[in-house]
Structure 1
Amino acid sequence: MTLAPGAVVIGAVHQLRLFFVALQFLTRLPVPRWVGYQPDWLNQSARHLPLVGGLVGALGALVLCGAAMWWSPLVAALIALAASLLLTGAFHEDGLADSVDALGGAVSRERALQIMKDSRIGSYGAAALVLALAGRAVLWATLVARDPALAAAALLLSAAWGRSAAVALMARLAYAGDAEHAKAKPLAQSVTSVELGWAGAWSLAAAGVASLAWPAARLGAAAVAAALVVVFMQRWLTRRLGGYTGDTLGATEQLTELAVLLALTANVGVA
């Protein structure tokens, strides 16, 4: 069946609208006023989270490579990291800290969910946050010192796949928190095969861009690392919470980014 030109245009506009909704949800970048908002659009916009992640990674890479022309690799990495945090409002980092605070100790499911709602940060969360930020800074510095093109591709890929991992987790688990009081209530709904398919397509697109700089074997290692994070988080969250929360999605994104970067920079017998 052939779609009418009008239907194609309407569909394209809707996808653009969903992209802007995802952009507004994950970053502080402004979006056009005509986008509007409906509650179900946020759930549908999960399909474009990897695309937004790729954009965040690309902007971070631009700052990293530009700063490396003036400062040392580590200073450039810190500047790029600060720019990325400003761009996203430390959205995922907050989720990582809250998740580790809640799940790092031997507490009940109910108590863990209460800890995630607490705005204060504990020792577990602070340690995890410092390690994650330091890890990204060192890995970015290592990459840009080796080759700016490799660094740019790695930042784009890790950021896109980090968001893809969060979408995959939403598709595999039920929401574990209080949906009525969730920070993003529509995202507490199930992710459909449509959203998962779109997210997978954007992940492949990110891999295609990264393949311009990285060999297939190294990208394969990064894909395995990302998949292992998703499997680990699925089992851990199933055992501890019976599902995911918004904070654990942020933790999944952060851990996946680190895993991909570590796989790309590992000194092993992979080209």
Structure 2
Amino acid sequence: MREEINIFFTSLMFYTRIPCPFTIVYNPDHINKATRYFPLIGWIVGVISFVTFWLSSLLFDTAISVVFSLLAGVLTTGAFHEDGLSDVADGFGGGWTKERILVIMKDSRVGAYGVIASVLLFLMKYAGLSQLFTLAPSNDIGLMVLLFVAYHSLSRLTAISICFISEYARDDATSKVKPIAKTHGLKEIFGAFIFGLIPLGLLCTYNLYFSITIIPLIVLALLSKRYFEKWLDGYTGDCLGAVQQIAECVSILSFIALWKFM
């Protein structure tokens, strides 16, 4: 149990800016095991985003509340995944070989492709969430919480699933950020899928149509794997961050599209 607690807090330290107890013992091996809790971190970020949205909605309209919820998510994670998206956009936009793409992605400077990708991403999430929470009944707090938690947990499950079916691309294991997990056992796979799918399962108690959301996310994971392996022979941490951000948009858009049939 003590080791599991250390692994969970390693995941929390790795993926968020939330302070952790000083008694937690850091172990490099825990980074590999921490992936089992990655979607669970989505629960935490989702709840924080929802609370921010709900408190803001007491004073402002839906659009402004959505902006505050997005801000809360960025502050909680330290823009960890958004940084990955901008690096991937710069790398694949400006590089034509594996070596050049990896060099650009490692550069801490943000280029035009990264800026454009980030702006479009936030516009999509802003527009999508604004429409989603206009459609969703505002008096059903349980449903609102699940929508927030589900799109965060599903997006993280989509990203981390690439680790289970592909190989790490950097031969020298260098990165401008923290090290990334490269080996995974059954506990990591099982834990990631359990924590990633529980919120979706609870959403299905409202309406089974929500289960269809998993289909476009599977397609996204498979296409991303194929694309990254074509150019890089595998994934990097930035690639996973990019997939996580795109998966958030896919989840939100799926919820909106499915609402028309409910």
Q: What is the TM-score of this pair, normalised by structure 2?
A: 0.92
The answer to whether residue 106 in structure 2 is matched with residue 112 in structure 1 is: no
What is the match of residue 13 of structure 1?
Answer: 2
Q: Which amino acid aligns with 1:97?
A: S
Q: Which amino acid aligns with 1:99?
A: V
Aligned with 1:153 (options 120, 143, 146): 146
Q: Which runs of 5+ in 1 are unaligned?
A: 1-11
| Aligned alpha-carbon RMSD (Å) | 1.7
Pairwise CA distance, 1:233: 0.5
Pairwise CA distance, 1:245: 0.4
Pairwise CA distance, 1:163: 1.1
Q: Conserved in 1, the CA contact under 8 Å of 2:159 and 2:240?
A: yes
What is the match of residue 184 of structure 1?
Answer: 178
- The 2-side partners of 1:106 and 1:36 are apart by 40
Q: Which amino acid aligns with 2:133?
A: V
Aligned with 1:215 (options 199, 207, 223): 207
Q: What is the TM-score of this pair, normalised by structure 1?
A: 0.89
Deviation larger for 171-180 or 252-261: 171-180
Deviations 1:48-76 (A, max 9, x none): 00001111011101111221121011101
What is the match of residue 193 of structure 1?
Answer: 186
- The 2-side partners of 1:179 and 1:70 are apart by 51
Pairwise CA distance, 1:21: 0.8
State the identity %. Answer: 29
The answer to whether residue 253 in structure 2 is matched with residue 259 in structure 1 is: no
Q: Conserved in 1, the CA contact under 8 Å of 2:13 and 2:20?
A: yes
Change (3 A) 1:37 1:98: same
What is the match of residue 32 of structure 2?
Answer: 43
What is the match of residue 7 of structure 1?
Answer: none
Change (3 A) 1:51 1:38: same
Deviations 1:86-129 (A, max 9, x none): 11111000000100111134611110000001111112111110
Q: Which amino acid aligns with 1:159?
A: H
Pairwise CA distance, 1:267: 6.3
Q: Which runs of 5+ in 2 are unaligned?
A: none
Tell me the SS of whatever aligns to 2:23: helix
- The 2-side partners of 1:31 and 1:237 are apart by 34
Change (3 A) 1:208 1:111: same
